């Protein structure tokens, strides 16, 4: 079984609809992240969470919200989807690392979201 | 602002050749530099990282070189195989593991 899973894998929705993307992990990691990938722009950080009670904005948080329901679950919501939110969305997890340190981030398979 | 860029969007090589993928970065304060591989339909997969106080690190068939003087990072893949075909991203880690990714280079390996 995959360590980091995302549901749904594909979603087509209409402008103005509320959408929730879910991420679950069995790695036991405290840290979880949501990224967005657009063609030619690489991955950009939307939100991240260092533990259940911690939520932080990333580079492009406007138009998104998140919820860390448990250590293993981190969901991303688009309250009112718009076409320029059409993208690939990736969830990632990692073990904690102190300032100046780094631990590998493990990525899920991604969710392809299309907003019409 | 911070930015991580790549010199070449697509690199085509023959199977068995050595591949070199380059990356320029702008944030001198980054702690780590990381290379990820992304195959079609999958999430990025960690390849190798290098701490900012190092200039070279080797893994299995891969070597990462860091030149802080010119803010340049490269990934060398020895004896490139068809399974190496993918998009490669460089990324830099600043502060508490906040990653800034480059735009990616597509590596195409032909038999």
CB within 8 Å: B99 and A50? no
Is 80 exceeded by the pLDDT of residue A66? yes
**What pLDDT score was predicted for residue A45?**
94
Q: Report whether A18 contacts A41 (CB < 8 A).
A: no
**What pLDDT score was predicted for residue A68?**
97
Mean pLDDT, all residues of chain B: 89
User: Which chain A residues are Cβ-neighbours of B104 within 8 angstroms?
Assistant: 42
Measured distance CA(A99)–CA(B19) in Å, rounded: 33
Under the banding of pLDDT at 50, 70 and 90, the label for residue B108 is: very high
CB within 8 Å: A102 and B93? yes
B57-61 mean pLDDT: 95
Under the banding of pLDDT at 50, 70 and 90, the label for residue B7 is: very low
Tokens of A112: 């392809």
Under the banding of pLDDT at 50, 70 and 90, the label for residue B110 is: very high
Contacts of A90 (CB under 8 A, 6+ apart): A6, A34, A35, A36, A37, A43, A107, A108, A110, A111, B43, B44
**What pLDDT score was predicted for residue B41?**
85
Tokens of A66: 């998140």
**What pLDDT score was predicted for residue B96?**
67
**What pLDDT score was predicted for residue A1?**
56
| ω into B77 cis (within 30 of 0) | no
Q: Which region among A26-30, A48-52, A61-65, B38-42 has the lowest average model confidence (pLDDT)?
A: B38-42
Q: Which region among A38-47, A86-95, B68-77 has the lowest average model confidence (pLDDT)?
A: A38-47
**What pLDDT score was predicted for residue B46?**
94
Is 70 exceeded by the pLDDT of residue B3? no
Under the banding of pLDDT at 50, 70 and 90, the label for residue A80 is: very high
The neighbouring-strand residues paired with B87 are B38, B106
Q: Report whether A38 contacts A83 (CB < 8 A).
A: no
A22-30 mean pLDDT: 95
Judged by a CB distance cut-off of 8 A, whether residue B35 touches chain A is no
Any idea which residue has 């069995």 for tokens? A26
User: Which chain A residues are Cβ-neighbours of B98 within 8 angstroms?
Assistant: 45, 48, 58
């Amino acid at each position: 079984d995959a360590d980091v899973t995302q549901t749904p894998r594909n979603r087509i929705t209409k402008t103005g609809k509320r959408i929730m993307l879910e991420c679950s992990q069995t790695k036991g990691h405290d840290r979880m992240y949501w990224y967005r990938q657009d063609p030619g722009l690489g991955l950009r950080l939307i939100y991240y969470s260092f533990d259940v009670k911690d939520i932080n904005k990333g580079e492009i948080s406007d138009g998104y919200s998140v919820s860390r329901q448990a250590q293993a679950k981190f969901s991303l919501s688009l309250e009112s989807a718009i076409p320029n939110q059409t993208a690939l969305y990736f969830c990632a997890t990692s073990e904690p690392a102190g300032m100046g340190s780094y631990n590998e981030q493990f990525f899920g398979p991604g969710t392809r979201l299309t907003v019409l | 602002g911070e930015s991580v860029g790549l010199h070449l969007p697509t690199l085509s090589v023959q199977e068995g050749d050595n591949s070199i993928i380059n990356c320029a970065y702008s944030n001198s304060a980054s702690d780590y530099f990381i290379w990820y591989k992304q195959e079609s339909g999958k999430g990025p997969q960690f390849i190798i990282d290098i701490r900012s106080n190092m200039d070279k690190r080797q893994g299995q068939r891969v070597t990462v070189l860091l030149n802080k003087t010119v803010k340049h990072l490269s990934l060398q893949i020895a004896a490139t195989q068809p399974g190496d075909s993918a998009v490669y991203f460089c990324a830099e880690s600043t502060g508490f593991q906040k990653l800034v990714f480059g735009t990616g280079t597509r590596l195409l390996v032909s038999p």
